[in-house]
Amino acid sequence: MTSVKPHKFPAVFFVQDGAKRTIATRTLVPKQSVYGEKLVRVEDHEYRMWSTRRSKLGAAIQKGLNEMPIQPGSRVLYLGAASGTTVSHVSDIVGPTGIVYAVEFSPQVGRKLIQLADSRTNIIPIIDDARHPTRYASLLGQIDVVYQDVAQTDQARLFADNLKVFCSFGAYGMIAIKARSIDSAAPIDKIFKTVVSELDNYGLDVIENIDLAPLEKDHRFVVVRMR
């Protein structure tokens, strides 16, 4: 028998199916599977299973994330949206009163993101380069949370630049640090230490730092707050 229990984070759930327990979100769009994920209907609601091997945010939650700034009603700037796998779960979480500005550099990948936004009115796709936030600044208002998952050597600077343009004191940021996109040869721990130091120098307090292994190799998930 399948049962659903609320997670400690609002709008996130545990779906229990026999001995297997999976995190999930309650879908905004019934009968829509975004990336092949399983759909489960319990009583009057439908839930989308959240793959922790295809989503850094899902992996962080699975690994014991304590701070979850993305809440129902949040205004989220998502950098590195790709085709919208994690974006779709963030869309479920923020719900109809929230909004996700999803930035993706590749026009080819962005076509799938645009298709997703056609069915989810709280997703605003932006096909542009996240290294230049002023180019899309006119499309956004005040942002509550900046979420970043990009493969760039200057991940910390890009992240900080967007926070400074769109957020004010006390705002949160969440970044999936991809070590091998920064340096292909340096020791992993040294790379992570350097990036955390850079974030501090940019005026961001690191409040959580999670190793995503074995769900994601050579990745850390860091939560920050602007000071």
- The domain spans of the chain are 2-51, 57-226
Tokens of 144: 């509550």
pLDDT in the model for residue 17? 87
pLDDT in the model for residue 213? 96
Determine the Cα–Cα distance for residues 68 and 8; give it in Å rounded to an integer. 10
Between β-strands 145-148 and 75-79, what pairing exists: parallel, antiparallel or unpaired? Answer: parallel
pLDDT in the model for residue 214? 96
pLDDT in the model for residue 117? 98
pTM score, whole prediction: 0.96
Determine the Cα–Cα distance for residues 135 and 218; give it in Å rounded to an integer. 31
From first CA to last CA, the distance across the chain in angstroms is 47
CATH architecture, domain 57-226: 3-Layer(aba) Sandwich (3.40)
Determine the Cα–Cα distance for residues 212 and 61; give it in Å rounded to an integer. 10
From first to last of its 227 residues, the chain has per-residue pLDDT tens of 899 999 999 999 999 988 899 999 999 999 999 999 999 999 999 999 999 999 999 999 999 999 999 999 999 999 999 999 999 999 999 999 999 999 999 999 999 999 999 999 999 999 999 999 999 999 998 899 999 999 999 999 999 999 999 999 999 999 999 999 999 999 999 999 999 999 999 999 999 999 999 999 999 999 999 99
pLDDT in the model for residue 141? 85
Cross-strand partners of 45: 42
pLDDT in the model for residue 154? 95
2-51 classified as CATH 3.40.50.300: no
**Residue 155 CB contacts under 8 Å (≥ 6 apart), including other chains:** 148, 175, 177, 178, 181, 182, 195
Residue 186 DSSP one-character state: S
